Copies of this chain bind each other. A is one copy, B any other.
Amino acid sequence: MTTTPGADPTMAHRIGEQTVTVLGPDGSPLAGAEVTVAQRRHAFGFGNIGFDFIPLANDEHALDPKEVETFGGASIEQLERLAELWLDVFNTATLPFYWGRFEPVRGRPDTGRLRRTAQWFADRDVDLKGHPLVWHTVTAPWLLDLSTTEVEQVQRQRITRDVTDFTGLIDTWDAINEAVIMPVFDKEDNGITRLCRAKGRIATVRMAFEEARAANPDATLLLNDFDMSTAYECLIEGVLEGGVQPDVLGLQSHMHQGYWGEEKTLGIIDRFARFGMPIHFTETTLLSGHAMPSELKDLNDYQIPDWPSTPEGEERQADEVVRHYRTLLSHPSVEAITYWGLTDDGMWLGAPGGFVRKDGTPKPAYDALRGLVKGDWWYAPTTMRTGADGTITVRGWYGDYEVAARGETATFGLDRTGTAEVRLG
């Protein structure tokens, strides 16, 4: 297996051994009792976008195409089944805060619908991330009517408002997206590129982190980019030099032009792991159809009427999904992977990158990923007997667990502390 000094394919860094003291209702250790231990949740973030489920969470039964989010737009009738598939594999959802969609008319943000969607996920034990607070694409068109000074002012206010409005529900944010290209982005005139050209990248990144941090000091804030070249490294160095400390580095990995392979992927992770911050793979796509031509520089330039998922493509996708997830989890710096969509229905660019076909049936990649997340990398329910001191030893994947005995259930976290205590009843 391809690996690097920074990676460990045995995944030892994701597995711990916990001594759990099981107490009875009276608080004394439950000696010699038969208990069943089961994993409930991964510590690792297995994420996907949750854009599709806004109508479901809001009990909307008609879908105005204009209202469909740019990325993610599955048909209403499929949503309940898709939600089951989603929830069976993923534990972290990214919600859309594209300014141009979230607040197409100044002063009328879509806060209510997004809050209900976030709550819907939270009720199902799913962590949330908001994406993104600052970006030049799909930004508010009305910024073009403002001066650069005013753009900065409203951008700061929007960060404060949205981070505040969602504190407690969404405590992880892509504070800024694609700052490397931001000031030289030339596809479309927009207020954020103007602002970034005037302020510079580092000052724009600082603005995003400053406001988000002030609004929610406990938030986890990401610097996120698709540029895996030395450009992003240089930006990170400059950002750190400028006294801005991201909590997490976000790396995109939309592989519409073909799977990167293990060597390239680990090389990229090693280069960014040098900064000592945790890494999230924030946006991952692997196709079950033909690849986009490699000469295209901007994925958005590829627009075709029909991009089919094929049987061979689906087999390859399943294989690549397994390889990609295995590779990422083998590196201790990676703490989360967010896949960019569940279903081909309404997927970004019309690409067959989902785990589910347009007709709602799961592709092999879905079963393959589930086989890892809930199989190879999952602690299967295990019945055992507590010792004389009421303890059991659980060796498993970091995450949340439950102990059940005599109709009672209690939970504990399997983490690096090595010990836990649960009280039944």
Report the nearest B residue to A180, measured CB to CB: B230
Which listed residue (B180, B241, B242, B271) contacts A184, Cβ 8 A? B271
- Taking CB as reference atom, which chain B residue is nearest A186? B267
Residue among A181, A183, A201, A233 with the highest chain B CB neighbour number at 10 A: A233
Q: List chain B residues, Cβ under 8 A from A229.
A: 229, 231
Which of B181, B200, B238 has a CB less than 8 Å from the CB of A235?
Answer: B238
A120 CA / B206 CA spacing, docked (Å):
51
Q: Is the CB of A181 within 8 A of B242?
A: no
| Shortest Cβ gap from A299 to chain B (Å) | 17
Q: For chain A residues 235-273, which have a beta carbon within 8 Å of chain B?
A: 235, 237-239, 241-242, 271
Given contacts A238-B202, A241-B242, contact A184 B231 (CB under 8 A): no
Q: Are A180 and B234 in contact (CB under 8 A)?
A: yes
Q: Is the interface of A mostly helix, strand, loop or mixed?
A: helix
The chain B residue with its CB closest to the CB of A271 is B184
**A181, B230: Cβ atoms under 8 Å?**
yes
A233 contacts which chain B residues (CB < 8 A)? 183-184, 201, 231
Is A237 a contact partner of B197 (Cβ separation < 8 A)? no
Q: Which of B183, B200, B230, B271 meets A231, CB within 8 Å?
A: B230
On whether the beta carbons of B238 and A184 are closer than 8 Å, the reply is no
Contacting pair B274 A202 (CB below 8 A): no
Quick one: which of A196-245 are within 8 Å of B by CB? 197, 200-202, 227, 229-235, 237-239, 241-242
A200 touches B237 (CB 8 A): yes
Q: Which residues of B are found within 8 Å of A227, using beta-carbon distances?
A: 230
Among B197, B201, B271, B274, the residue within 8 A (CB) of A234 is B201
Question: Inside 8 A of A271's CB, which chain B residues have their CB?
Answer: 184
Q: List 29 A-B contacts (CB under 8 A).
A: A180-B230, A180-B234, A181-B230, A183-B233, A184-B230, A184-B233, A197-B274, A201-B233, A201-B234, A201-B237, A202-B237, A202-B238, A202-B241, A227-B230, A229-B229, A229-B231, A231-B231, A231-B234, A234-B234, A234-B235, A235-B237, A235-B238, A237-B238, A238-B239, A238-B241, A238-B242, A241-B241, A241-B242, A242-B242
Which 7 A-B residue pairings sit nearest by Cβ, starting from the closest? A238-B238, A231-B231, A234-B234, A234-B235, A241-B242, A230-B231, A202-B241
